[in-house]
Amino acid sequence: MKKILIIEDKSEIIDGMTDLLVEIGYDVLSSQFSREGIELARKSKPDLIISDIMMPGMSGFTVFENLRSFNETKDIPVIFLSADADQNQIEKGMKAGAKDYIIKPYKLTDFINRVKIVLGD
């Protein structure tokens, strides 16, 4: 079973994504805090990380940079999740090396399909 880590500051979004991903057969871990999410990624080595961009304390871009600095997390694919649909933000995320950028609110089928594509499922 593939493992997905969600780093998102809003618990209702974590709960919704977790329910959806578990229902289709993924193991899901989550953190509402950026630094905790980075440590969880280092310990659990998920197959995919879904990270919000706009979080208190540390942005998703900074989380991504941190993940790339550790051998155990540098190759884990990351999907950014954000309510910011600004094209410059999307380009920044993709240029940084994210595998995808999903804009909130998202359609459930679109979200599932994009996760499956990144995971090769």
Mean of all residue pLDDT scores within the chain:
95
Does this model's pTM top 0.85?
Answer: yes
**3-class SS shares of the chain: helix, strand, coil, % to 5:** 45, 20, 35
pLDDT of 38 above 90: yes
Domains in the chain: how many in total?
1
What is the per-residue pLDDT across 7-19, written as a single tens digit (0 to 9) for each? 999 999 999 999 9
pLDDT of 84 above 90: no
Q: Which residue range is the domain that position 102 belongs to?
A: 3-119
Q: Where are the beta strands (DSSP E) in 38-120?
A: 48-52, 78-82, 100-103
